Amino acid sequence: MRSAVAAPRSTPTTRGFRSWRPAPARRTRARSGLRRRPIRGLPPAERLAARRRRTRPLVRALRPQLMRQANGLSRHADIAKAFAYGNQRWRAFNRFLYDGQLEPDNLIAERAIRGFTVGRRNWLFSGNFATAERSAVVLSIIETCKLCGVDAEAYMGRCHRAHPERLASLALG
């Protein structure tokens, strides 16, 4: 096993300023117990219990730390503005700690629209605005089907058989 050598917290630089360098890590993530089962995907009741146990203490410790850090900054600094933004919306930020159905981020929605953002460049070659609009409608139906676990091709076929005039109007503009 490799031993960790203690390095100074700061070292002098050529101009006389002191730069900060973090001390070497003494424990790996796996040994420190930080690798835990993910909360995402659990039923809401279990997710809420896990958040109360694991996440709430971290979030409670975060706010005083942010306030301490913000005290020494100019209010015009970008990081101070970011701290103020978070402080003003602190209650909304904490809602996921009290409701197991809420997610702390919008990762699911971002993954769902990834296909749109990749396809955006292709929409430039749609020919005209109406064609690009129809492409967006079709892609949104496909992505919604994916999110709901529905076979998009079968769904579009059923829609076409049930309402052929709507699909024709969509194709013609």
The whole-number pLDDT of residue 10 equals 45
pTM of the model: 0.49
- The position carrying tokens 């975060």 is 62
Tokens read off for 61: 């410790």
Quickly state the pLDDT bin for 97 (edges 50, 70, 90): very high
**CA atoms of 1 and 28, how far apart (whole Å):** 12
The whole-number pLDDT of residue 8 equals 47
Domain extent listing, the chain: 39-104, 107-172
135/26: higher pLDDT:
135
pLDDT tens-place string over residues 42-85: 899 999 999 999 999 999 999 999 888 888 889 899 999 999 99
